[in-house]
Amino acid sequence: MHLTWELVAELTRALANRPVFDLDGNLIGVPDLFDPASGTVGEYDGEHHRSIEQHRSDVSREDRFRDHGLEYFTTVRGESRSTVATRMHRTRSRAKFLPPESRAWTLEPPSWYQAPESLDEYFERTGMVERLTHR
């Protein structure tokens, strides 16, 4: 999705998997793709999103993003890159492009928030860096 955003849709660089908080320090969500300049959230819904429990959670999550003034799109497996790029452009065109002082969200984590282990940290901790870089 990230490559489609940048290479096919030719949009400015977006963030991947960055937590977004409300102004009271509550976690709104960690979107797959986030464009803070426009306030656009993008999600990829894989196979596990088909269960009723996951779908219910996804709908609630989308509501939380929208309740904070963020515009939201979803993509699923099998969609063409041009279809997804069109959806990205349409969603971004509806976005508010609010200045930081007018936003109901922030990327600044509250003091209680502990970021999960990154993929790089996991690879380092488990010795995968060595195995992946040396034959």
Residue 125 lies in a domain: no
Which segments of the chain does DSSP mark as H helices, in order?
Answer: 2-3, 52-67, 81-94, 119-126, 128-133
Higher-confidence residue of 32 and 135: namely: 32
Range of the domain at 97: 2-109
Give φ, ψ of 54 to 5 degrees: -65, -40
Q: pLDDT tens-digit profile of 38-57?
A: 999 999 876 665 777 878 88
Give me 88's structure tokens: 């990205």
What's the structural domain count of the chain? 1
**Per-residue confidence band for 60, with pLDDT thresholds at 50, 70 and 90:** very high
pLDDT tens digit sequence for 69-115: 999 999 988 899 999 999 999 999 999 999 999 999 999 999 999 88
Whether the pLDDT of residue 129 is over 80: the answer is: no
- Domain assignment of residue 132, yes or no: no
For residue 128, being part of any structural domain is answered with no
Residue 135, C-beta contacts closer than 8 angstroms, at least 6 positions apart: none
For residue 51, give the CATH number of its domain: 3.40.960
Cα dihedral 27, 22, 32, 115 sign: negative
Confidence of residue 135 (pLDDT cuts 50, 70, 90): low
Structural domain contains residue 14: yes
